[in-house]
A and B are shown apart, each in its own frame.
Chain A
Amino acid sequence: MFDRLAERLSETFRTLSGRGVLTEGNISDAMREIRRALLEADVNFKVAGRFVSEATEKALGGKVLKSLTPGQQVIKIVHDQLVELLASGSSSLHFTGSPPHVVLLCGLQGSGKTTTAARLAWWLARKKNRRSLLVACDLQRPAAIDQLEVMAKKAGAGFYCNRAVSDPVLVAREAINQARLQQYDTVIVDTAGRLHVDQELMDELVRVRDAVKPEEILLVLDGLTGQDAVNVAVKFQERTGFTGSVLTKMDGDSRGGAALSFAAVTGRPIKFVGVGEGIEGLEAFDAERLAGRILGMGDVVGLVEKAQEGYDHQEALKLEKKLKNNDFTLEDFATQMKKIRKMGSLGDILAMLPAGMRPAEADMDTASFGRMEAIIGSMTPQERRRPEVINGSRRKRIAMGSGTRVSEVNRLLSQFRDMKKMMKRMKSMKRSGIRGGLPGLFR
Chain B
Amino acid sequence: MKQGLSEKLKKSRDALAGRLASFFGKGVPNAADMAMLEEALLEADLGWKLTEKVMTDLPALCSKQGLGLREGLAVVLRGMLPANADPPGDPRPLVTMIVGVNGSGKTTTVARLAAMEKARGFKTLMACADTFRAAAGEQLALWGTRLDIPVVTRPEGTDPGAVAFDAVASAVARGFDRVFVDTAGRLPNRKGLLDELSKVHRVIGKSMEGAPHRVLLVLDGSVGQNALQQAGGFASAVPLTGLVITKLDGTAKGGAVFAMAHELGIPIVFIGTGEGGGDMSVFDPVEFTGALVGL
Contacts and interface: CB of A to CB of B under 8 A. Distances in A.
Nearest to A345: B191
Contacts of B188: 252-253
Contact of A228 (B139, B190, B230, B251): B251
Interface in A247-271: 248-249, 251-255, 257-258
Question: For the side of the interface on A, what is the size category?
Answer: 35 or more
Contacts of A115: 102
A161 to B, nearest CB: 12
A45 B134 contact: no
Interface string A295-307: 0000000000000
A7 interface: no
A88 interface: no
Given A227-B45, A252-B189, A253-B189, A144 B220 contact: no
Contacts of A354: none
Contact of A249 (B11, B187, B251, B255): B187
Most buried by B among A142, A196, A348: A142
Contacts, number: 157
A40 B225 contact: yes
Contacts of B105: 109-110
B18 to A, nearest CB: 13
Most buried by B among A39, A112, A227, A249: A227
A108 interface: yes
A252 B226 CA distance: 9
Contacts of A241: none
A89 interface: no
Contact of A142 (B139, B156, B187, B191): B139
Contacts of B162: none
B101 interface: yes
A372 interface: no
Nearest to B233: A253
A115 B185 CA distance: 13
Given A142-B138, A142-B146, A150-B134, A224 B226 contact: yes
B139 A252 contact: no
B188 to A, nearest CB: 7
Contact of A231 (B193, B233, B251): B251
B143 interface: yes
A140 interface: yes
Interface in B18-67: 39, 42-45, 47-48
Question: For the side of the interface on B, what is the size category?
Answer: 35 or more
Most buried by A among B141, B187, B230, B256: B187
B247 interface: yes
Given A147-B139, A195-B249, A227-B43, A232 B191 contact: no
A224 B223 contact: yes
Contacts of B183: none
Given A108-B247, A151-B134, A252-B189, A42 B229 contact: no
Given A227-B43, A253-B188, A345-B191, A147 B225 contact: no
Interface in A398-421: none
Contacts of B11: 197
Contacts of B91: none
Contacts of A39: 42, 47-48
A226 interface: yes
A251 B102 CA distance: 12
Majority secondary structure, A binding face: loop
Contact of B229 (A110, A248, A253, A258): A253
A69 B99 CA distance: 49
A348 B104 CA distance: 22
B103 A225 contact: no
Contacts of A232: 222, 250-251
A255 B105 CA distance: 20
A297 to B, nearest CB: 20
A224 B220 contact: yes
Given A112-B102, A142-B146, A146-B138, A226 B48 contact: no
B130 to A, nearest CB: 11
Contact of B226 (A42, A112, A144): A42
A255 B11 CA distance: 25
Interface in A195-220: 195-197
B47 A196 contact: no
A235 B62 CA distance: 37
A425 to B, nearest CB: 29
A277 interface: yes
Nearest to A114: B134
B42 A253 contact: no
A360 interface: no
Interface in A291-348: 343-345, 348
A143 interface: yes
A196 B141 CA distance: 28
Contacts of A130: none
Nearest to A35: B48
Which 4 residue pairs across A and B have the least CB separation, nearest first? A226-B224, A110-B103, A344-B191, A42-B224
Given A222-B220, A252-B226, 10 more contacts: A36-B48, A146-B138, A224-B230, A227-B44, A227-B224, A249-B101, A249-B103, A251-B190, A254-B226, A345-B191
15 contacts: A110-B103, A143-B142, A146-B138, A150-B135, A154-B134, A197-B251, A224-B101, A227-B253, A228-B45, A228-B251, A229-B224, A231-B250, A232-B250, A252-B226, A253-B226
Interface of B: 11, 39, 42-45, 47-48, 101-105, 132-136, 138-143, 146, 156, 187-193, 220, 222-227, 229-230, 233, 247, 249-253, 255-256, 275
